[in-house]
Amino acid sequence: MQLSIIQHPHPTLRVCSKPIRRVDKQLRDFASQMLDLMYEAEGVGLAANQVNLPLRIFVANPSGERGSGEELVLINPELQRPKGNETAQEGCLSLPGIYGNVKRPKQVRLTGFDLKGNPIERTVDGFLARVLQHENDHLNGVMFFDRMTEEAKRELDDQLLEMETVYESKQKSGGIPTPAELEQQLQTWYDQYA
């Protein structure tokens, strides 16, 4: 199955993803497709929600460059022990061309698993900490603009509304699965992996 990136306001972006109970060949293929999509779109992270998979897995590479040795595939990640605060600009592959300032903890403790089931445990800070928090938010159905101040978000409202209008018109022309069809798609993934 060929994955593709979904955009705001696709409802799967708002789903709280379920933990993964098993990793198989298909899931490893999905992780590799997610990395391909991330690099193609010149992103630094991509969560499974963003490819319409409601499962707790994301990929990231703060350098954005394949082969830099900084590539991460995280299964069932958890972030703990937030420290400090920092505000910086973020973007998102599900919100092309939209950017905004988000305040987040500077440092977090990451735990999770890689594709082979090896545990991962790291304390991260700086840009990587921001990327991991942004991707982990996706798994909980949270978009970066949810974390912006109301005042700053207001500046994005026109662009968001335009995306919503485009989505609605696609829905009307039948270019997007119905809510019932979507529900069924998500259930298929829960049955296989959650």
Which tokens belong to 20? Answer: 């993964």
Nearest distance from C-beta of residue 43 to Ni ion, angstroms: 8
Nearest distance from C-beta of residue 164 to Ni ion, angstroms: 17
Selected catalytic residue, list 65, 135, 151, 164: 135
- In this complex, which beta carbon is closest to Ni ion, that of residue 23 or of residue 86? 86
Q: Give the pairing of strands 57-60 and 45-47.
A: antiparallel
Short-list 81, 124, 86, CA closest to 105: 86
- In this complex, which beta carbon is closest to Ni ion, that of residue 7 or of residue 192? 7
Query: Which residue has the CB atom at the shortest distance from Ni ion?
Result: 92
Separation between Cα atoms, residue 192 and residue 88, nearest integer Å: 38
- In this complex, which beta carbon is closest to Ni ion, that of residue 23 or of residue 152? 152
- In this complex, which beta carbon is closest to Ni ion, that of residue 92 or of residue 129? 92
Nearest distance from C-beta of residue 42 to Ni ion, angstroms: 13
Contact partners, residue 104, CB within 8 Å, separation at least 6:
85, 86, 87, 88, 129, 130, 133, 147
Q: Catalytic residue at 181?
A: no
Nearest distance from C-beta of residue 60 to Ni ion, angstroms: 10
Interaction site with Ni ion (CB under 5 A): 92
Using CA atoms, how far residue 74 sits from 28, 66, 132, in Å, is 11, 16, 10
Please give the angle made by the CA atoms of 62, 63 and 68, to the nearest 5 degrees: 115
> Which residues are catalytic, by number?
135
